[in-house]
Structure formats: C-alpha cells, structure tokens
Amino acid sequence: MKGDIDVVPWMTVITFLITLVFILWRPKGMNEAIPASVGAVIIILIGSVSITDLRMIIETISGAAITIMATIVMAIVLESFGFFHWTAEKLAERAKGSGIRLFWYVNLLCFLMTLFFNNDGSILITTPILVMLLNNMGLKNHQKIPYLMSGALIATASSAPIGVSNIVNLISLKIVDMDLYLQTAMMFVPATLGLILLTCLLFLRFKKVLPKKVPEQVKGLTLPSYHPLKLSPMTYDSEKDRSRFMRNVLLFVLSVRVSLFVASYLGISVPLMAVIGSCILLAWRWAYLKIPPKDMLKKTPWYIIVFAFGMYVIIYGLNNMGLSDLLIEFMQPMVSGSLLHTSVLMGVLLLVMSNIFNNHPALMIGTFTLMNMNLDHLSLKIAYLANVIGSDMGSLLLPIGTLATLMWMHIVRKGKVMITWKEYMKTTALVIPPATLFTLVVLYYWVSWLFGGAL
C-alpha cells in the first residue's frame, strides 16, 4: 500500500512531462489537444484527480470556454463578410507607400485583433493575411520578417491587458476569484504601456531592415489554402458600401466587447453576454448572406476547449500530489517583502517557468500555488497579475514558450517565409526581458496609485 502511495506522484509527474514533450513536439502535425487528452485520462485513471475534482474543474473552465468559443464564432462570421480582406487592403492604403508606417499599422492591427478576439485567434487569422499581403507587395524574405515577427509578438503579448483575450487567463481569474472588470482596471494601463515599449524596441531592432517604400494599393488578395477559415469574401455594390458595412460590423463587435466589462462590473454573466453577441452576429449573417449557423459546428476549433480541459486536469493532479507545497517553500520569500519585489520576482519566475514548461501550465501552476499561500487580498492580486505578465509577455523569449508562437512559426513556413529559431531568439533576447521588467514595475506603481496609498 505504501508503495502505491509513492508511485502515484511519480506517475503524475512523468505523465505531465511526456504530455508536454508531445505538445511541443507535435509529431506529424499532431493537434495539441490529443496528448493533453491522453495525459488527462491517465491522470484520472491513476487516481491523481477524483470525480469530485472533475466536477469542480468543469465548473471552473466552463465560463472561460464559452466566452472564448463565442469570440471565435464572431471572428468566423467576420471573415464571411470579407472583413479580413478589407483590413489587409486598408493596411496597405493607410501606409501610403511607407514601409515604416506599415510596420506601426501591422502592430496596431495585431493588438486590436487580440483585444477584440483572443491571442490564438489573432495568430491563426492575422498571420496568413499578413503573409498574403507581404507576398502581394513583392517584399523579400528578410523584409517580411520584421512585420511578421513583431506582429506575432504583439498579438500574443496583447492578451495581458484584458483577461478575456486568453482562455488560460480566464480560467486563472476564476481560480483567484477576480472579476474581469477589476483585472482590467489593474492591468490594462501597465500592460499597454509595456506593449508600447515592446513595439518601440522592435522598431529599433528592425529599423534598418524595414523597406522604405511599399506598394500603396494591393488588389486580388486571396486567402491561402492553409488559412483556418478558408472562405471567399462576399462582394459589394461599391467600395463605399463595403467600407460602411465593415465599420458597422466593427462597431458592433466593439460594443459586444465593451458589454463584457460592463457585465462584469454589474455582476452579470460574462459568458452569457458573449453568447448573446455572437448569436446576434450569426443572425445578422443569416439575414444578410443567407448562411445558417450550422456551419459553426464544423468551423469552430473545439479542440481549444479539449486542450484547456486536459491541461487543467493534469495540473490539478500535480497540485493534488503536493506540487504547490514544494513551490510554496520556494516562492514564499518572493511575496514576503515589498509588493514591488512581489511583482518583479513573481513575473520573472513565471517568465522562466513559461519558457521551460510553456505558459499555459506555468500560469496554472503559479495560480494554484498562490491560492495556497494565505496571502492578503491585495498581495494575491498583484502576484497573480505579475504571473500573467510573466506568462503572456515573458513567455515569448523562446518559441516553445507559447502555443501561439509555435503555431505562428508553422504558418509562416507554410507561407514560404523562412524564420529560424536563432533569428527569433536574437530579437526576443533584446526586447522581451526589458519590456517584461518594465511592465512589472509599472504594474506596482499603477496599482499603488489606483488604491490611493493603500499599499
């Protein structure tokens, strides 16, 4: 009996490590949800997670999953309207033939895409469109890299300002019992300032490579076959009608996004508001294009929910086996000093963990540990937000730090743009550490001001 008790923790750890290897390796293009699911089943079978635990896990991730899926549905509907083709053409038009101006617009687009949708969706949808645009402009390989790499880094890091842009952030919010409104109030300003610094550092890094001139207009854009939506844009009577329709759709999406924070502030269900918004947009498409909603069953990437659930089960099993107790001994000194030290040290720890284990499990492990440290209310919140910064921004140091980055590298290769790990890390080593540290320090001072000296 004693031997059985000793074996289970080791089996849990081994299962986690093997699952992680397969998620990062993805042999023969294996979907990351498959190893996560297999790992979760093993964790349940060996008894690391009980049936009671499963009920709690489902309750914890259900709201986050519904919100993210509703957001992805909205993105699919927008592509039915030809929104992303229109966006690519407007990027070229707004750049007015300047490669430098195009750089700033690309990064603004990636920032807004993540805020309006989510980081994975931003990478999956925007990257093929940027490849399509840059290829159409006739740029050389080394000239495409600044736009694609900076766009990917900004798109992924932009999940930090608001929790609703990343499923693991939403799950962690539920664990620490923090509402979306408060998280945004404490995080939006520091994270956005950090993103501005990151963009400026990227510009300085790529300034010499950026083309001075690019074509002012692009025509005949066609989504590549590997684009996740694979739709042909609808036609319009005139460019004026097209632009007016796109602005109306964009205003509606913005109003839905704002409604999530209003709902959080008023204590209304955030997932419910997200579902209502996506249903209205689906009805709009049905009325306008005569396309019924049933195609969403096939086009929605349900594997995201499966992956998140599987990873949560595995991390919960590690937590049940005493991982939090071990980490508490290591992390306790980090949160025992000033809150400035708490912010910086916790963020740096999650930066390291994310680049070793990937940011999804790293943030879950960090959040579970914080919940078992008996911290006061404010210390818990700032430590958690520092964890988010470390896992959303700091994780970009290595390509394996986030699944979004791995997907991005796969997409750009399909688009015949060559970016090696060495090239990637030569850039991230210069921009990610200073941007992350800056954001962590600003987080402390912003929260200090926000709470009016309560610290």
Tens digit of pLDDT for each residue in 59-109? 888 888 898 888 888 888 887 888 877 887 888 888 888 999 999 999 999
Q: How high is the pLDDT of residue 147? A: 95
Helix (H, G, I), strand (E, B) or coil at 178: coil
Q: How high is the pLDDT of residue 14? A: 93
What tokens appear for 322 in the block? Answer: 């005493």
Q: Is the CB of residue 278 less than 8 Å from the CB of residue 5?
A: no
In sequence order, which residues have a C-beta less than 8 Å from that of residue 411 and are 6 or more positions away? 123, 124, 127, 128, 131, 226
Q: How high is the pLDDT of residue 299? A: 80
Q: How high is the pLDDT of residue 455? A: 45
Q: Is the CB of residue 289 less than 8 Å from the CB of residue 151?
A: no
Q: How high is the pLDDT of residue 237? A: 67
Tell me the helix, strand and coil percentages in the chain, rounded to 5. 80, 0, 20
Q: How far is CA 170 from CA 60, 185, 278, 358, 388, in A?
A: 9, 15, 18, 17, 11
Q: What is the 8-class DSSP label of residue 400?
A: G
CA distance 43 to 47: 6
H/E/C letters for each residue in 332-356? Answer: HHHHCCCHHHHHHHHHHHHHHHHHH
Q: How high is the pLDDT of residue 452? A: 64
Q: How high is the pLDDT of residue 1? A: 42
Q: How far is CA 152 from CA 124, 199, 304, in A?
A: 10, 11, 19
Parts of the chain with a pLDDT under 70: 1-6, 217-237, 452-455
CA distance 189 to 194: 9
Q: How high is the pLDDT of residue 71? A: 86
Q: Which of 27, 16, 40 is nearest to 305 (CA)?
A: 40
